Amino acid sequence: MPQGQPSVVPDDGLTTRQRRNRPLVMVHTGVGKGKSTAAFGMALRAWNQGWPIGVFQFVKSAKWKVGEENALRVLGASGEGGTVDWHKMGEGWSWVQRDLQGDNFSNEEKAREGWEQVKRDLAAESYKLYVLDEFAYPLHWGWVDLDEVIEVLRDRPGTQHVVITGRNAPDKLVDFADLVTDMSKVKHPMDAGQKGQRGIEW
Amino acid sequence: MPQGQPSVVPDDGLTTRQRRNRPLVMVHTGVGKGKSTAAFGMALRAWNQGWPIGVFQFVKSAKWKVGEENALRVLGASGEGGTVDWHKMGEGWSWVQRDLQGDNFSNEEKAREGWEQVKRDLAAESYKLYVLDEFAYPLHWGWVDLDEVIEVLRDRPGTQHVVITGRNAPDKLVDFADLVTDMSKVKHPMDAGQKGQRGIEW
């Protein structure tokens, strides 16, 4: 993104500085590649600023993205930038006790449990960047109440940035978000009969 | 990206495994955010595979992306994954002698010098992932010969993946590439009068 000038100066009573540092809700949606990848790329910048980062992977199986996870864990433990907490729904969430994990709970319940923790962390201002990876899906499916999510995000305290990824981001979320990018597929190797490969897809 | 099955099985004489491991040329274009960010996110996966990574930033001023750069340098030096070489046109390229740097050379000459090094590295198989950041611009402007770029990429030896970012990727490059994603802007805070901010934009 080239550095640019805003095209309008809003009459919102904020100084440029206040407006600049306003925390953002960002959405990466669309059917193309790069939605999650760009969110984890953003985490590199946040890490470099020394921000605490919370990743919540709202996917059934969290085998993928192990590259990003390992990289961010190494960065978080390097002592040079911010910290990284990486939570996976696929393993039953790290804060949930062992006996509540596994197949006793539906994916819908697990997704809701993930959101409950995000709410607690937002209230406690645990992180400065939240990556809610694939969170658009439980919202799209109605597993997590969209109106509540928007209300909680709108009223979150302090300076907490949130990026939500996934296809089919609901219109209401797109309307509410500050920054929305749609990743469109122009061409993908699977169209030419090529399967995903190590180092590229995961 | 969900894991999927290819929609066609091509009659190209390759086994699935050979086809799967075919090196890719990827393009991230469009006017939205996330083109470079997703490319650096991909570098996390490559790093996790232990691949040597070469980043070439084809931008006049390489002040931006310092977060990604610092993070990848820390990862490259961690001894846990692959290595990272990060070259910046904005500082006159690392391989160019000091007395050839600076303002004695035009951006066009610098861009061409960058491409010459990429060619040398491809011939030497220096890296397994090349991030040619913002390389679409010198191609779009005709500073670097597009036909030569495609020829060199097509004939590159071994297994070397290349990702090219930037707006206005030329049609010929899009036609040639294996994977193309267009990042479309749906909404950006600048439209609402908000300037870029630390940790988010850089």
**Nearest neighbour of A3 by CB, restricted to B19, B188, B196:** B196
pLDDT tens digit string along B38-50? 999 999 999 999 9
Distances (CA, A) of A154 to A14, A167, B102, B194: 17, 22, 47, 17
Give residues with Cβ within 8 angstroms of B149, minimum separation 6: B115, B139, B173
Domain that holds residue A43: 32-181
Chain CA centroid to CA B155, Å: 18
Structural domain tally of chain A?
Answer: 1
Residues of A in contact with B163 (CB under 8 A): none
The alpha helices in chain B, defined as continuous H runs, are 16-20, 35-48, 66-76, 107-124, 136-140, 146-154, 171-176
**Nearest neighbour of B20 by CB, restricted to A1, A184, A194:** A194
Separation between Cα atoms, residue A161 and residue A46, nearest integer Å: 10
The predicted structure's pLDDT at residue A131: 97
pLDDT tens digit string along A110-160? 999 999 999 999 999 999 999 999 999 999 999 999 999 999 999 999 999
Q: Is residue B191 part of a domain?
A: no
Do the Cβ atoms of B192 and A198 come within 8 Å? no
Residue A98, min C-alpha distance to chain B (Å): 28
Q: Is residue A96 part of a domain?
A: yes
Q: Select the residue from A7, A57, A183 to test the B interface by mutation, using most B Cβ atoms within 10 A.
A: A183
Q: Is residue A1 part of a domain?
A: no
Neighbours of B33 (CB within 10 A): 22
Q: Is residue A128 part of a domain?
A: yes
Do the Cβ atoms of A189 and B24 come within 8 Å? yes
Q: Is residue A131 part of a domain?
A: yes
Confidence of residue B4 (pLDDT cuts 50, 70, 90): low
The predicted structure's pLDDT at residue B10: 66
- Lowest mean pLDDT across B2-16, B132-146, B174-188: B2-16
Do the Cβ atoms of A49 and B129 come within 8 Å? no
* Residue A150: strand, helix, or coil: helix
Positions of chain A with pLDDT under 50: 1-3
Residues of A in contact with B191 (CB under 8 A): 6-8
Q: Report chain B's mean pLDDT, rounded to a whole number.
A: 87
Q: Is residue B6 part of a domain?
A: no
Q: Is residue A199 part of a domain?
A: no
pLDDT at B63 over 90: no
Do the Cβ atoms of A201 and B8 come within 8 Å? no
Q: Is residue B46 part of a domain?
A: yes
8 A C-beta contact, residue A183 and residue A54: no
**Nearest neighbour of B192 by CB, restricted to A1, A10, A199:** A10
ipTM strictly over 0.90?
no
The predicted structure's pLDDT at residue B8: 64
CATH number at residue A89: 3.40.50.300
Separation between Cα atoms, residue B140 and residue A199, nearest integer Å: 29
